[in-house]
């Protein structure tokens, strides 16, 4: 089980942190993937663009390889039971721990005019989404690690108080470290809403991808063989490892180690490899978006499957809570 917010365009960080694993997991597990439209209300209260954004993010995920015939792919707001489970879990979440959440503190700092209760209880809603399908593996990027820790705490508390209903959820990346795709400016991470020139979006055209990659921070190169790489150079190597062939990466590693590296050439290569990877997904997204009927049908099918699973879970939950009076 995992989700992605429709707060902007899907980017390379979403792909390598999450969607790539959705695509692999859908062949191996029973999967639920969700467009987290309710979560987006915590930071994006204006819903005029929501419908278009939801459709775009649906299409972008499918273009990246998510197959709605293999995984249940649905919109969060189509599972009404989530609100109910969120309410029960809120009684088990403490104000102090919610206030300490790093993402809450960041967002409160960025938008001091809108520090709403939904933002504070974001990890509780996320837990409701995950355990609604009694999921144990949650493919997410590194930024979500703390939320998953909190989800485990809420689940342990629920099970302790009301009975063993839920498995403990864990952030999942096939036994590898969770991924954080850095921004091209060498700081922070690629993200939907911030630092647009530092993030590679699947909607970017070839020229814009070239422009963004060429602007990535570099320096005049190492002067001592086998030096350690500054963070912003490490980032460029990391991006290259995501999209380039092994021999290309090896060449630039060697050039770096013997101090002959030309970052201009490296970035040109990276830009072309990036375009080779991203452009087909962009054009597939346009084709899917052009087929409105397909998207609507798919959403309905996903909602029906997710509702079926939610209904089963909530029967167990109400029973466990002792809310079955007759
Ligand atoms: P969001 O865009 O915040 O809704 O996140 C959707 C998924 O993408 C989550 O699993 C995030 O952990 C993941 N994600 C977002 N940005 C990055 C990034 N820069 N690197 C790795 N994973 C990311």
- Structure tokens belonging to residue 94: 């403490």
In the chain the first and final C-alpha atoms are separated, in Å, by: 33
Mutate to test the pocket of ligand 1, among 6, 12, 18 (most ligand atoms within 8 A of CB): 18
Q: What is the CATH number of domain 2-172+291-321?
A: 3.40.50.620
CATH assignment of 196-286, given 3.40.50.1110, 3.30.450.150, 1.20.910.10, 1.10.240.10? 1.10.240.10
How confident is the model at residue 62, as a pLDDT?
98
Whole-angstrom Cα distance, residue 243 to residue 215?
A: 18
CA of 36, closest atom in ligand 1: 4
Write out residues with Cβ below 6 Å of ligand 1.
2, 4-5, 13-14, 16-18, 140-141, 143-144, 179-181, 189-192
Whole-angstrom Cα distance, residue 262 to residue 222?
A: 10
34: which strand partners? 3, 74
Beta strands 2-4 and 32-35: pairing type? Answer: parallel
Question: Which residue lies with its CA nearest to atom 12 of ligand 1?
Answer: 141
Spans of the chain, pLDDT less than 70:
194-195
Average pLDDT over the chain, rounded to an integer: 96
State in Å: Cα 227 to ligand 1 middle. Answer: 31
How confident is the model at residue 71, as a pLDDT?
98
CA of 2, closest atom in ligand 1: 10
| Residue-wise burial string across 252-268, b where 16 or more C-beta atoms lie within 10 A, e elsewhere | beebbeeeebebeebbe
How confident is the model at residue 288, as a pLDDT?
98
How confident is the model at residue 194, as a pLDDT?
64
Instruction: For the chain, give every domain's residue range.
Output: 2-172+291-321, 196-286
How confident is the model at residue 195, as a pLDDT?
65
pLDDT in tens, 179-234: 999 899 877 889 887 668 999 999 999 999 999 999 999 999 999 999 999 989 99
Whole-angstrom Cα distance, residue 178 to residue 25?
A: 15
State in Å: Cα 138 to ligand 1 middle. Answer: 12
How confident is the model at residue 185, as a pLDDT?
85
State in Å: Cα 19 to ligand 1 middle. Answer: 9
């Amino acid at each position: 089980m995992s989700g992605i917010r429709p707060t902007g365009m899907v980017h390379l960080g979403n792909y390598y942190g999450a969607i790539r694993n959705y695509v692999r997991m859908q062949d191996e597990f029973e999967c639920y993937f969700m467009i987290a439209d309710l979560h987006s209300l915590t930071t994006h209260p204006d819903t005029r663009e929501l419908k278009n954004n939801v459709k775009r993010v649906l299409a972008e995920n499918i273009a990246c390889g998510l197959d709605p015939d293999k995984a249940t792919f649905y919109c969060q707001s189509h599972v009404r039971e989530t609100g109910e489970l969120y309410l029960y879990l809120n009684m088990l979440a403490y104000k102090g721990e919610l206030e300490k959440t790093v993402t809450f503190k960041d967002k409160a700092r960025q938008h001091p005019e809108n520090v709403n209760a939904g933002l504070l209880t974001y990890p509780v809603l996320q837990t409701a989404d995950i355990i609604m399908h009694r999921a144990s593996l949650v493919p997410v990027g590194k930024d979500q690690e703390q939320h998953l820790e909190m989800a485990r705490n809420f689940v342990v508390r629920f099970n302790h108080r009301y009975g063993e209903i839920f498995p403990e959820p864990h952030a999942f990346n096939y036994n590898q470290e969770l991924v954080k795709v850095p921004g091209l400016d060498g700081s922070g991470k690629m993200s939907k809403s911030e630092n647009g020139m530092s993030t590679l979006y699947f909607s970017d055209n070839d020229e814009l991808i070239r422009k963004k990659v060429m602007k990535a921070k570099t320096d005049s190169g190492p002067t001592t063989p086998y030096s350690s790489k500054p963070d912003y150079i490490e980032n460029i190597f990391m991006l290259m490892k995501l999209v380039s062939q092994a021999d290309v990466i090896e060449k630039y590693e060697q050039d770096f180690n013997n101090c002959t590296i030309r970052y201009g050439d490296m970035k040109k290569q990276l830009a072309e490899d990036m375009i080779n990877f991203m452009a087909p997904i962009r054009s597939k997204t346009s084709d899917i978006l052009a087929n409105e009927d397909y998207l609507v049908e798919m959403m309905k099918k996903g909602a029906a499957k997710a509702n079926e699973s939610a209904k089963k879970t909530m029967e167990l939950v109400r029973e466990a809570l002792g809310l079955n009076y007759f």
